[in-house]
Structure formats: C-alpha cells, structure tokens
C-alpha cells in the first residue's frame, strides 16, 4: 500500500489517512482518520463510540451536547455551539440566542433588531424585517435601508429629514432644490423654491412672490403688479392682456392674431385678424356678417329667424322646430316621416269645445314614411300602425289587441281578439267559456275544472287523491309507477323502493335490473354481489 510517498505491507485493518502523496497509515479498527483535504490536513484519533470528524478534529456529541460542525468549501470546518453560535456560509459567529438569529451571507444577526433585506451579507442594524428594504440601482448595486427614516435614490441611501431625491441624485434640504431633472443651489436664507431654466441652460432658484421666470430670464415683480409673463415681460392679468409678446390694456384693447386694436373704435371680438362688434355681427367661416349666430356659412338673427339644415327661414312660430330642412310650429304641427302635418282637432276636456291638439305622436308603418300621421295620444292610441280612438277611456288602462284597443281591467287579448276576462279565457289561442270560474283551466284548447281534473298530454283526466300523469293518461301513484310514459303495477312493492324493470316493477333494494330482467342481490351461487352494477355483473 502506498501512503504519503511510502510503501507499507497491506493488512486487513491497515488504511491510508490521506493519499499516495500526503498521508499517514492507521488501523481503522482502533483509530479514526479526520481530514480536511482542501487544506491537506490529516489527523489520526483513537476511535471513540459515537464520535465523528469535523475537518481534522474529532468530537463526541455525548460529551459536548449542543455542538455541531460548520462546513464549507473554502473555510476549514470548525466545531461550534448550536445554542449560542451560528454557522453562516462556513463562518462561525456568536449569536447569543439562536432562536432569534438568522444568516445574512456569512454574518449572523438578531432578527429582533436587524435585518438582511438585500440578502447579500449587508446587515441593516436598527430596522426589523417590517421596516427594512433594499435600495438597488440599474447597475445592480445594493444597500439596505430603514424605510422609516431613510429613502432610496437610484441605489443611494439618504436621510429623509436632511436630504431629498431628484431624478436619481441626492440633494441637501435647505441649500438645494430639485428643478426638473437637476439640482439647483440656493442660499440658506432664500425664500421660495421655484425653478427657472435660463437661456444659457443653467437652472436657478427664485422666489415667485418677488420675481417671475419669463422667456428664460428672471424678471423682477415690482410691487406684485405682475403675475404672468408676456414674452420676457411681466404683466398684471387683472388689468392687462398679452398679445403675441405685447402687453395691452385688457379693458380697452383687443388682440387679433398679434395685432392690437381699440375696442371702442374697432370692435370687441376677432374674426381671424379682423376686429368686429359682437353686438350686431358674428364671424361665420371667417367672414363678418350681420347676425348673432351661424347657419352653416350664413349669419342670422336668432330672434327673428330659424336655421334648419343650413337654410335660414323667418321665425313666425310659437315653438319653431325643424322637419328636415323645413321650419314648422311644433305647437300646432307635427313632423312625421319628414312631412309637416297640422295637428288633429280634439274636444277640450276643460271647455268642451273643439281645439287643436298640442300633444301628438306619429302612427303608421315606420318602414314607409308616407304612411305616418299624427295623433293625439291623450284621446287616441296607435295599434299596429292604425290610429284608434280611446272613447274616453283612461290611457293608462288601454292596450292594443290586433287593430283594436281594450280595457285591461275587464278584457284580455287572445290571438288578436278581445275577450271578456270574467266570462272567457284563452286556451291555446282560442276563446272558451269560463264554466268553472277561477278554477277554469285549459287542456288541448278545451276548458277543464282544475279542482277535479288534470291535463295529461292532451287528455282531461279525473283527478282523484293520488292521481298523477303518466304520459297521456292518469294513474294512482300508490298502485302504479310511471315507466317511460306507461303505468306499471307496483305488485305490492313499496313506491319509494320500486324501480322499473321490463314490463313491471321490482324492489330496487333487493334486486338488480339488467336488460329488463331482475337478479337477486346478495349471494347468488355463493358470490356476494352487493354493491355491484349490471356492467360489473354481466360484462
């Protein structure tokens, strides 16, 4: 045997602790070889029952309770106390109480007072897992921070009370201000925090109560007389206006496309770049015309004229309205299908005299405009395109039936025919007499007494105490069971246990029904078939 560069006689218990180049021979019956091969350490120990190796060391758990071995690929294995120490990535660290300790990379920490939000070995002291977070930038740089007192700015941790984040940059409160995408400096005693981007590309901080940022330059606001910019000049918006960079008098001047005009002599409104007086004119399609409104390209006077489909007509009506391109008086006329009709005459419910209706709708075939006519909806109704007089009935009680009207309190509609509710009923589209009063029912278009009869299919069957329908006939449910629409005698089998089988009924608790034949459940031929199905009995 070659061990440690030497030859030894081979023995049953003779082994090499190490390898051919570095090693020591030992008796594995009485000794143990503990090695850490990455460090080329090989140590022989006397064999002890229950003892085991931790790298090149030997320890007995029975003599040292609570101890364990901390292994890794890069560090030498070491024995540690599992109650007061932690093994984190092969490193032994003191923890105090392992019940509250976790690993953060190769470092141990107390979860009650610290955390490891980035999971990379950086411990955040003073922040629990509930308040700690990981601050990371686009390059992958990480840093833990306390969300209650700190902030994250593109991977940089800052103090919330003293600093701020501005587009990925950290600024100092009191001496700097965030202006868009950059940080600008300000004096410690400077009031205000507005930003102005100057023409040279730099950014400055200013007090908006003292200055304005106009056209890339700071303008002094003397006496607070200016609150807006006009080009690079400040002006007072309450008394002045801005006209293409020119400050004008808001009370007496008007700006039309960059030109300033006097409102008393030129006008108080603009039509493109021309001023005009809005009291008697308006601007329609870029032209100044007499009127107060536009009808397409034409101006008109809305007090004396009316506009329909870009056509202006005189307004001589009480309630002028449009019917396509025609003007009509909607107080006494109605537009039906694009045609103007005079409203129908009715008898006044107040004076009893004939008057023109002022409450109309259109009736007819709405697929054919030529058939539409107006009607007074208080005295008439529209039934299937026909105007029908209500005859003084309450409109709320009226419904149409075919081409007629009916009073829904006393009548009903049966396939387009009005019938009396008290004397007739509608059976499958046919009117039949109510021979049995409220107990009248229908069966195949025939009246029947619901108190002593039932309708089975299309047949009237006498209704005894236990009669039920089975197909088109009736049966006594205590003596028969309905099987595919045919009554089958129970033959003494309890109704709640009966099942259909062939031409009769069988007790489903005692028999199977397979292909119309009954088979005893239990043990036929000594075979227990309880719980089986026909498919399993007769595959």
Q: How far apart are CA 84 and CA 90, in angstroms?
A: 16
Q: How far apart are CA 516 and CA 500, in angstroms?
A: 8
Q: With 70 as the cut, is the pLDDT of residue 524 above it?
A: no
**Least confident window among 3-17, 66-80, 186-200, 394-408:** 186-200
Q: How far apart are CA 430 and CA 447, in angstroms?
A: 10
Residue 138, CA distances (Å) to 72, 164, 169, 370, 518 in order: 32, 19, 14, 74, 80
Q: Which are the contacts of 133, defined by CB distance < 8 A and separation ≥ 6?
A: 117, 144, 145, 147, 152
- Identify the residue whose tokens are 């004396």: 304
The stretch 521-533 carries a mean pLDDT of 62
Residue 163, CA distances (Å) to 172, 188, 363, 405, 537 in order: 5, 14, 77, 83, 85
pLDDT at position 97: 74
Percent of the chain with pLDDT over 70: 96
pLDDT at position 223: 62
pLDDT at position 363: 95
Rg (CA), the chain: 52
pLDDT at position 528: 62
Q: With 70 as the cut, is the pLDDT of residue 242 above it?
A: yes
Residue 345, burial from CB neighbour count under 10 angstroms (0-12, 13-18, 19+): exposed
Q: What is the pLDDT of residues 459-518, one digit of tens each?
A: 999 998 889 999 999 999 999 999 999 999 998 999 999 999 998 999 988 888 888 888
- Return phi, psi of residue 368, to 5°: -130, 100
The stretch 42-67 carries a mean pLDDT of 86
Delimit the domains of the chain by residue range.
Answer: 1-65, 465-539
Q: How far apart are CA 383 and CA 399, in angstroms?
A: 8
User: Would you place residue 530 in the very low, low, confident or very high pLDDT band (cuts 50, 70, 90)?
Assistant: low
pTM: 0.45
Q: With 70 as the cut, is the pLDDT of residue 531 above it?
A: no
Q: What is the pLDDT of residues 349-394, one digit of tens each?
A: 888 899 999 999 999 999 999 999 999 999 999 999 999 998 888 8
pLDDT at position 339: 95
Q: What is the pLDDT of residues 311-326, one digit of tens each?
A: 999 888 889 999 998 9
The stretch 138-148 carries a mean pLDDT of 90
User: Would you place residue 539 in the very low, low, confident or very high pLDDT band (cuts 50, 70, 90)?
Assistant: low
User: Would you place residue 4 in the very low, low, confident or very high pLDDT band (cuts 50, 70, 90)?
Assistant: confident
Q: What is the pLDDT of residues 182-226, one digit of tens each?
A: 888 887 777 777 888 888 888 888 888 888 888 888 888 766 667
pLDDT at position 298: 95
User: Would you place residue 146 in the very low, low, confident or very high pLDDT band (cuts 50, 70, 90)?
Assistant: very high
Distance from CA of residue 475 to its chain's centroid?
Answer: 56
pLDDT at position 529: 60
Percentage helix, strand, coil for the chain under 3-state DSSP, each rounded to 5: 5, 50, 45
pLDDT at position 151: 95
pLDDT at position 532: 63
Average pLDDT, the chain: 88
Q: What is the pLDDT of residues 288-298, one digit of tens each?
A: 999 999 999 99
**Least confident window among 224-238, 268-282, 518-532:** 518-532
Would you tell me how many other CB atoms lie within 10 Å of the CB of residue 10? 8
């Amino acid at each position: 045997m070659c061990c440690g560069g030497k030859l030894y006689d081979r023995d049953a218990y003779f082994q090499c602790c190490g390898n051919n180049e570095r090693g020591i021979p030992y008796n594995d019956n009485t000794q143990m070889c503990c090695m850490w091969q990455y460090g080329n350490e090989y140590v022989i120990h006397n064999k002890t029952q229950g003892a085991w190796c931790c790298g090149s060391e030997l320890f007995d758990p029975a003599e040292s309770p609570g101890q364990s071995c901390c292994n890794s690929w890069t560090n030498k294995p070491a024995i540690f106390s599992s109650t007061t120490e932690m093994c984190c990535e092969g490193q032994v660290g003191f923890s105090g109480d392992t019940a509250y300790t976790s690993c953060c990379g190769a470092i141990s920490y107390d979860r009650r007072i610290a955390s490891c939000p980035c999971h990379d070995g950086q411990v955040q002291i003073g922040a629990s897992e509930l308040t700690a977070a990981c601050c990371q930038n686009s390059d992958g740089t990480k840093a833990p921070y306390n969300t209650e007192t700190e902030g994250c700015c593109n991977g940089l941790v800052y103090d919330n009370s003293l600093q701020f984040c501005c587009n990925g940059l950290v600024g100092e409160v009191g001496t700097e201000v965030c202006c868009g995408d950059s940080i600008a400096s300000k004096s410690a005693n400077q009031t205000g925090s507005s930003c102005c981007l100057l023409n040279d590309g730099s950014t400055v901080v200013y007090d908006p109560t003292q200055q304005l940022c106009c056209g890339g330059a700071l303008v002094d606001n003397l006496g607070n007389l200016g609150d807006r910019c006009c080009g690079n000049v400040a002006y007072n918006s309450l008394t002045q206006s801005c006209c293409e960079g020119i400050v004008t008098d808001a009370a007496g001047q008007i700006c039309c496309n960059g030109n300033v005009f006097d409102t008393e002599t030129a006008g108080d409104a603009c039509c493109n770049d021309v001023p005009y007086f809005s009291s008697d004119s308006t601007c329609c399609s870029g032209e100044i015309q007499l009127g107060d409104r536009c009808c397409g390209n034409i101006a008109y006077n809305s007090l004396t004229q009316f506009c329909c489909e870009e056509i202006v007509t005189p307004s001589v009506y009480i309630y002028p309205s449009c019917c396509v391109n025609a003007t009509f008086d909607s107080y006494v006329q109605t537009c039906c299908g694009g045609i103007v009709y005079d409203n129908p005459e009715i008898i006044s419910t107040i004076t009893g005299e004939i008057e023109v209706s002022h409450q109309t709708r259109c009736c007819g075939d709405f697929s054919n405009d030529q058939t539409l006519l107006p009607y007074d909806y208080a005295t008439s109704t529209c039934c299937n395109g026909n105007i029908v007089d209500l005859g003084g009935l309450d409109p709320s009680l009226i419904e149409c039936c075919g081409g007629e009207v009916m009073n829904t309190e006393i009548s009903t509609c049966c396939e387009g025919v009005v019938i009396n509710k008290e004397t007739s009923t509608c059976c499958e589209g046919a009117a039949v007499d109510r021979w049995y009063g409220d107990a009248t029912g229908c069966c195949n278009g025939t009246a029947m007494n619901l108190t002593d009869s039932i309708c089975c299919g299309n047949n009237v069957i006498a209704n005894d105490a236990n009669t039920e329908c089975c197909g088109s006939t009736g049966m006594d449910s205590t003596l028969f069971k309905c099987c595919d629409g045919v009554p089958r005698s129970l033959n003494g089998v309890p109704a709640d246990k009966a099942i259909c089988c062939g031409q009769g009924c069988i007790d489903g608790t005692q028999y199977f029904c397979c292909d119309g034949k009954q088979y005893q459940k239990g043990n036929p031929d000594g075979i227990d078939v309880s719980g089986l199905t026909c498919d399993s009995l007769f595959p």
